Amino acid sequence: MAAEAKAPTRRVSSQRTLAELLRVIFLPLGQLFVFTVGSAAVLGLIVVVLAFLLSRSDPKIFETAVAILPQVIIDGIVRGFLFATIALGYTMVYGVLEFINFAHGEIFMVGGFVGAGVAYLLNQWGVMSTMPALLFVIIAVILGMTVSGLLAMGTERIAYRPLRNAPRLVPLISAIGMSLVLQDTVRMISTNTPLGFNARFETPDFGKAFQLASIPLGERSIPVLIGPKAVIFIVAALLMLLALNYLVNATRLGKAIRAVAQDRATASLMGINVNQIISLTFLIGGALGGAAGVLFGMNIGTVNPYMGFIPGIKAFTAAVLGGIGNITGAMVGGIVLGFLEAFVASYLSLFTGGAFSGASYADIAAFSILILILIFRPEGLLGEATTQKV
Amino acid sequence: MATSSPQTGGTGAWDRLSRLLGRGPGGYAFLSLYLLITSLMLLLNPRTSLLTDIVFILFLLLVLIIYRTRVHLGFKVALGMVALGVVLPYFGTLNPYYIDVATQAGIYVALALGLNVVVGFAGLLDLGYVAFYAVGAYIWSIFSTPQISTMISGAVPVPSVWFYGFILVGLMIGGVFGVLLGLPVLRLRGDYLAIVTLGFGEVIRVLAENLDKPINITNGAQGIKDIARPPLFFSGALTAIGLKLDDNQLYQFFFYFLVLVIVLITVMIVGRLKNSRIGRAWTAIREDETAAIAQGIPLVRMKLMAFGVGASFAGTMGVVFAAKQLFINPPTFDLLTSISILSMVILGGLGNIPGVILGAVLVTLLNLNILPRIAEILRSAKSAGLPIPQSFDPTQYQRLLFGLLLILMMIFRPEGILPEDRRRQELHEDEDEPSEESAEATT
């Protein structure tokens, strides 16, 4: 029976032309590009105008503001891709279950720890220094993805599946509990192993940062740098987006996932194993989170058990900003949020004469965005307005 | 829902026992004996130990048992007053640690009752509840210390007797902040609301950490120290009747009784609210928002009221907490505190006042007594040569504990230890005493 139900779908998907397929897969990249350039341009313009207005009192502000602009944009992209990759996991799970997987930030953190653990072991065996950097990245990312994906699947099996038909707050509270349990379990493991609470993430030498440009400012010149790790991060994030888009929009598994997201009961009547699809959704989302964790840890150099919480909340904000349930939306939301944070972090103290520290108020900016979006455009940048079912 | 309350659920021996001891002469004898035995056990062996902890918990459970037993209301009140007003403070003179624990438990009871209004009655999951507590605490800390002079030049700290006035100020400011948070999030449902309130809690903490520039309002990450305590107006009277206690002990008693009084008032208010028109409107909103609107319930006003009422208890307790603690800093008000209050509410029973009180007391005691005691035992086991990891300290694993508590409760008993007994009340209306009256009297 299942085979009969699936036979027509195979015919339909084979009818799809190559051009259509390419459009489905690469259109999101175009959207992402537009939003990246757009938000960078808008925020850059605001900064320039503000700097110009402020430069009457202090002429140096304008010069400094413009000189650091390219670096801020690059930081924004790196930050944005971090939020974006985590947001993918939130949005996948939300799309299918309409459930905020509160523990997703911790899945991300576990990925970081797996990476740090792999790096520690490789260092112990003495193969780290002789290893090509890219090979190390691939090994660490694959291991991180495996562990995080399986862990996400396990949490779903243990803490969410028994509550699937309960009122909505019940699985949410369970997820909060899961998040706390994961934090402390990882802490228990890491403090009782040589890793320690703040585990160092050793990496092979990636080489020097690429200098994209150099901006003269008075006598000095400010270089615009992008580290090789950041480049790897961005490339990996783009690959993940492409792969996910392909998976969801062009494969049979993706069709099953979309069917379950749309209507669970009908999907199960069509011969789709709903439990299995939900498990797979968690596996995929968790694997993406794990990869983000490894890449993030590599970028920062240390990981700790509580590091997943704030990026997790911000990634959720990003997912809501882009339109929760929408994969490209999550990426776009992440990028926009990343830019916004980078701009606030860099310019707030400059514009207020050091009165407000930008780095801490960046968090407030992120949460304010969340509140504003939920009030004025709850469907997000790319989402569709939904009417509420009674 | 209410399947396993001691009075209706049990079978066989338990049923007979509870019928024997739950009412009539058996009840009076049982309660008096229980109080006598636990009090004697406490007073004869006041050393801090795991055994004392367990006896202490049993002693506090008396309040719940009094509430559950069907005896004369006057007897309940008298017994409750003896237990909480005489025996416990006297035990406190023997071992000051426990009266501190009791005060802390009382503070958490009031907080949990406030959160229960928002989460339990109105069904709005608030993960930033501790923000209101922080607001109350910071209000008193700023105005009672020289911090006020760094904020407004020329201003001097208020006299410490204003503490009583500031309890009301904390109440109002808490309420105002509750409504302010409520306004933007009114349209959100369930899980979105949770995340936004969580964000709000973090924003308040970050503000507390960073508002030392450009104007020094909160003194940033260093926190505020030397917070004023109210004058001890009753110390003269106590020396007159021959009680000689040093100031520290007097303050312990003062805060214990203050918290006790506030908790009683809170229980009264919350109990009255629950069975009022407002409380029924909240229940309606919790059960089905759309149906509630259709019934003509003013959704906006009711939700804002839930936020405001819940937050005002936290604001009040914040003022008391700051004065009791003498020192506050931003990490005191982190997300973990919000979540621990939430787990108290959930453990005890969402929406049910006695349940929430039980949950708050249990979690506080678990946190302050049982975990350190287990840590001690583990330490001695380690020195005896048992293979226990070097850096394993149970007191450091509160997150694990709260997390497991939340997951297990959600999976196995989402209604809590003492579920709301709305249904039971309806079924046994004629034989039951009005529950909020006995709650007022005994808790």
Residue pair B90/B243 in contact by the 8 Å Cβ criterion: no
Let me know if residue B60 belongs to a domain. Answer: no
Q: Could you tell me which residues are beta bridge partners of residue A199?
A: A303
Let me know if residue B394 belongs to a domain. Answer: yes
pLDDT at B433: 45
Let me know if residue B18 belongs to a domain. Answer: no
Residue B117's pLDDT band (cuts 50, 70, 90)? very high
Mark yes or no for CB contact B399/A374 under 8 Å: no
Alpha helices of B45-95 — where are they, by DSSP H?
A: 50-68, 73-81, 88-94
- Name the residue with higher pLDDT: A376 or B429: A376
**Using H for helix, E for strand and C for coil, what is the string for B145-210?**
CCHHHHHCCCCCCCCHHHHHHHHHHHHHHHHHHHHHHHHHHCCCCHHHHHHHHHHHHHHHHHHHHH
Plot region of B435 (φ>0 → left; ψ -120 to 50 → alpha; else → beta): alpha
Mark yes or no for CB contact A357/B213 under 8 Å: yes
Amino acid at A339: F
The 10 Å Cβ neighbour count of residue B426 is 9
- Which residue in B has a C-alpha nearest to residue A177's C-alpha? B403
Instruction: Give phi and psi for A14, each to the nearest 5.
Output: -75, -20
Distance, in Å, from the CA atom of B88 to the CA atom of A331, rounded to the nearest integer, reads 59
Which residue range forms the structural domain that includes residue B210?
Answer: 105-377+388-412
The series of mean pLDDT values per 10 residues for chain A, 390 residues long, is: 45 63 80 87 87 78 80 87 89 86 92 92 83 87 95 92 83 90 91 83 77 71 80 88 86 90 90 92 93 90 88 87 83 90 84 73 82 78 56
- Name the residue with higher pLDDT: B389 or A136: A136
The 10 Å Cβ neighbour count of residue A100 is 24
CA distance A233 to chain B (A): 27
Residue B194 has pLDDT above 70, yes or no: yes
Best mutation target among A99, A160, A180, A388 (most B Cβ atoms within 10 Å) is: A180
Residue B4's pLDDT band (cuts 50, 70, 90)? very low
- Which residue in A has a C-alpha nearest to residue B405's C-alpha? A177
Residue pair A370/B228 in contact by the 8 Å Cβ criterion: no
- Contacting residues for A279 by C-beta, under 8 A, at least 6 apart: A153, A156, A157
Q: How far is CA B51 from the centre of its chain?
A: 24
Q: Which stretches of chain B sit within 8 Å of chain A by CB?
A: 123, 125, 127, 184-185, 187-188, 190-192, 194-196, 198-200, 202-203, 206-207, 209-210, 213-214, 290, 335, 339, 342, 346, 389-392, 397, 399-400, 402-407, 410-411, 414
Distance, in Å, from the CA atom of B96 to the CA atom of B362, rounded to the nearest integer, reads 19
Let me know if residue B419 belongs to a domain. Answer: no
pLDDT in tens, B21-69: 777 777 788 888 888 888 888 888 777 777 888 888 888 888 888 887 7
The 10 Å Cβ neighbour count of residue A115 is 31
Mark yes or no for CB contact A100/B392 under 8 Å: no
Residue B135 corresponds to which tokens in the numbers above? 């607001």
Residue B388 has pLDDT above 70, yes or no: no
Q: How far is CA B275 from the centre of its chain?
A: 21
Distance, in Å, from the CA atom of B269 to the CA atom of B275, rounded to the nearest integer, reads 10
In chain A, positions 147-176, which contact chain B (CB-CB < 8 Å)? 158-159, 162-163, 166, 168-174, 176
Of the ranges A56-60, B206-210, B428-432, which is most confident?
B206-210
pLDDT in tens, A260-318: 988 888 999 999 999 999 999 999 999 999 999 999 998 888 899 988 888 888 898 88
pLDDT in tens, B223-251: 888 888 888 777 777 777 766 777 788 88
Distance, in Å, from the CA atom of A174 to the CA atom of B402, rounded to the nearest integer, reads 11
Best mutation target among A104, A106, A181, A188 (most B Cβ atoms within 10 Å) is: A181
pLDDT in tens, A247-262: 888 888 988 998 998 8
Coil, helix or strand at residue B267: helix
CA distances from B357 to A214, A224, B263, B361, B402 (A): 64, 59, 10, 6, 17
Number of cross-chain residue pairs from A and B with Cβ atoms under 8 Å apart = 134
Mark yes or no for CB contact A313/B195 under 8 Å: yes
Residue B105 has pLDDT above 80, yes or no: yes
- Name the residue with higher pLDDT: B390 or A78: A78
Residue B131 has pLDDT above 90, yes or no: yes
Residue A382 corresponds to which tokens in the numbers above? 């790319």
pLDDT in tens, B367-386: 888 888 888 888 788 777 77
Cβ-Cβ contacts under 8 Å, A99 against chain B: 191
Mark yes or no for CB contact B203/A367 under 8 Å: yes
Residue B424 has pLDDT above 50, yes or no: no
Residue pair B136/B174 in contact by the 8 Å Cβ criterion: yes
Q: Is A365 on the interface with B (CB under 8 A)?
A: no
Cβ-Cβ contacts under 8 Å, B285 against chain A: none
Residue pair B388/B382 in contact by the 8 Å Cβ criterion: yes
In chain A, positions 333-362, which contact chain B (CB-CB < 8 Å)? 352, 354-357, 360-361
Residue B11's pLDDT band (cuts 50, 70, 90)? low
Residue pair B441/B67 in contact by the 8 Å Cβ criterion: no
Instruction: Go through A304-325 and write b for each residue having 16 or more CB atoms within 10 A of its CB, e for each that does not.
Output: bbbbbbebbbbbbbbbbbbbbb
pLDDT at A178: 93
Cβ-Cβ contacts under 8 Å, B123 against chain A: 169
Mark yes or no for CB contact B410/A370 under 8 Å: no
Say if residue B214 is preceded by a cis peptide, omega within 30 of 0: yes
pLDDT at B389: 66
Residue B350 has pLDDT above 80, yes or no: yes
Instruction: Give phi and psi for B170, each to the nearest 5.
Output: -60, -40
DSSP string, B24-57: HHHHHHHHHHHHHHHHHHHHH--S-SHHHHHHHH
- Contacting residues for A86 by C-beta, under 8 A, at least 6 apart: A104, A105, A108, A288, A289, A292, A311, A312, A315, A318, A334
- Which residue in B has a C-alpha nearest to residue A94's C-alpha? B191
Among A10-24, A116-130, B148-162, B172-186, name the one with the lowest average pLDDT: A10-24
pLDDT at B314: 94
Q: Is A99 on the interface with B (CB under 8 A)?
A: yes
Residue A157 corresponds to which tokens in the numbers above? 């099996």
Of the ranges A326-330, B266-270, B285-289, which is most confident?
B266-270
Total domains in chain B come to: 1
Residue B7 has pLDDT above 60, yes or no: no
pLDDT at B91: 84
Residue B218 has pLDDT above 60, yes or no: yes
Distance, in Å, from the CA atom of B292 to the CA atom of B299, rounded to the nearest integer, reads 8
Mark yes or no for CB contact A192/B391 under 8 Å: yes
Angle at which helices B435-442 and B247-274 pack, to 10 degrees?
180
Cβ-Cβ contacts under 8 Å, B382 against chain A: none
Of the candidates A237, A229, A230, the residue with the CA atom closest to the CA atom of residue A29: A237
ipTM passes above 0.85: no
Residue pair A279/A153 in contact by the 8 Å Cβ criterion: yes
Please state which architecture CATH assigns to domain A34-376: Orthogonal Bundle (1.10)
pLDDT at B437: 43
The 10 Å Cβ neighbour count of residue B74 is 9
What's the mean per-residue pLDDT of chain B?
82
Residue B1 has pLDDT above 60, yes or no: no
List chain A domain ranges: 34-376
Q: Is A320 on the interface with B (CB under 8 A)?
A: yes
Of the candidates A166, A162, A175, the residue with the CA atom closest to the CA atom of residue A106: A175
